[in-house]
Amino acid sequence: MAEDNLDIKLIKHIQDGIPLTKTPYEDIANDLGMPEKEVIDRLKDLLENGKIRRLAASIAHRKIGINSNAMTVWKVPSERVDECGKIMAGFEEVTHCYERPTFPDWEYNVFTMIHGYTDEECEGVIERIKQKTGLSDYVMLYSEREFKKVGVRI
Amino acid sequence: MTLSEIDKKILHRLQTNLPLTHRPFLELAKELGLDEDLIIERIKSMIENKYVRRIAPIINTQAIGNSATLAAMQVSEDKIEEVSQIINGYSGVSHNYLRKGRNKDIPLNIWFTMSAPSKEQLDENIKEIEERTGLKVRMLPTTKKFKIGVKFKIN
């Protein structure tokens, strides 16, 4: 438990950004009063056990011109979910691909988040997904307004 | 400021893990054939100019014991503002969008993601949103992940 608490303390300390110095891990270690090796080892473990997905840059994708974001939902027969999910995930422009539950009034079970520089680029990806999977029942849900978009914090 | 070819090169590399070594930016410098000081300076500049939000751990909320879901609601035009503000008021909400079907009309139009320290807390928050708005919230949690690796193609 105490070990876990130190991990949480470490994540909380750097979740808004690591120091941009030549020796960021040493600086974090000094702030937290632990050796640099411990900071590095803890981060390695957190990455290995999946508690941290990546230690990387968060890009403001709209600012760099990636203005189109099409959440596309697909109706995929249950026995083809694995096969189709893998095909969809193989596209560079597909940043997220998930299976989600269905309901009598909601039958779309596979979600792909597609990011592109233009709507046409996203639609090109959707066309290619259709061709590769043979799927035809889908809805492109474009974002019309963004009310909130923040990184996950703890 | 516009991004230079060097900036794009750095940005592309920075979307994957920073090396876990004493001098991580020196390692990047060797990989990219650039200078360590230049890399640090360009990253600072890209953060200042808001191309990059931060270099930080991307947290897997579920792996640290949190519970999360995508949620969708059908909200009439005149209530969109009010409902979106109610949803935004919860700190566990990381994304909240108005979305419209382009090739097909679908009734669900407000889409948000919420995480909470436990499944109970998550359910309670969702129930509270339903009570406060008088509208149904459809919870669509992930049942299987095929990809979660937001890495953008830098043109």
* CB within 8 Å: A25 and B115: no
Q: Which tokens in the block code for residue A90?
A: 């193989």
Kindly state whether B149 is in contact with chain A, defined as any CB-CB distance less than 8 angstroms: yes
Mutate to test the interface with A, among B73, B146, B152 (most CBs of A within 10 A): B146
Q: Which tokens in the block code for residue A20?
A: 């941009």
Mean pLDDT for chain B overall: 94
Cβ-based burial of A2 (10 A; exposed 0-12, middle 13-18, buried ≥19): exposed
Collect all residues of chain B within an 8 Å Cβ-Cβ radius of residue A93: 153
Residue B30 confidence (pLDDT): 97
Q: Residue ranges per domain, chain B?
A: 5-48, 67-140
Give, in order, the Cα–Cα distances in Å from B43 to each of A149, B8, B87, B121.
Answer: 22, 11, 33, 38
Pick the CATH number of A68-142 from 3.40.50.2300, 3.30.70.3460, 1.10.10.10, 3.30.300.30: 3.30.70.3460
Residue A2 confidence (pLDDT): 56
Residue in chain B nearest A115 by alpha carbon = B152
Residue A1 confidence (pLDDT): 43
* CB within 8 Å: A55 and B64: no
Kindly state whether A91 is in contact with chain B, defined as any CB-CB distance less than 8 angstroms: no
- Predicted confidence (pLDDT) at residue B123 exceeds the cutoff of 90: yes
Place of tokens 């991307």: B58
**Beta-strand (E) ranges in A8-122?**
52-59, 68-74, 94-99, 110-116
* CB within 8 Å: B56 and A16: yes
The answer to whether the CB of B99 falls within 8 A of the CB of B153 is: no
The answer to whether the CB of B71 falls within 8 A of the CB of B60 is: no
pTM of the full predicted structure?
0.82
Which residue stretches of chain A have pLDDT < 50? 1
ipTM value: 0.81
With pLDDT > 70 as the criterion, what percentage of chain B qualifies?
A: 96
Q: Per residue in B85-122, pLDDT tens?
A: 999 999 999 999 999 999 999 999 999 999 998 999 99
Q: Which among B11, B52, B138 has CB closest to A103?
A: B138
Mutate to test the interface with B, among A152, A153, A154 (most CBs of B within 10 A): A152
- What is the C-alpha separation between A104 and A99, in angstroms, rounded? 16
Collect all residues of chain B within an 8 Å Cβ-Cβ radius of residue A139: 101-104, 106
How far B120 CA lies from chain A's nearest CA (Å)? 17
Span B67-140 CATH architecture: 2-Layer Sandwich (3.30)
Q: Per residue in A113-138, pLDDT tens?
A: 999 999 999 999 999 999 999 999 99
Kindly state whether A48 is in contact with chain B, defined as any CB-CB distance less than 8 angstroms: no
Residues of B108-134 as b/e, b for ≥16 C-beta within 10 angstroms?
bbbbbbbbbeeeeebeebbeebeeebe
Contact map slice: A 131-150 vs B, CB within 8 A:
138-150
- What is the C-alpha separation between B33 and B24, in angstroms, rounded? 14
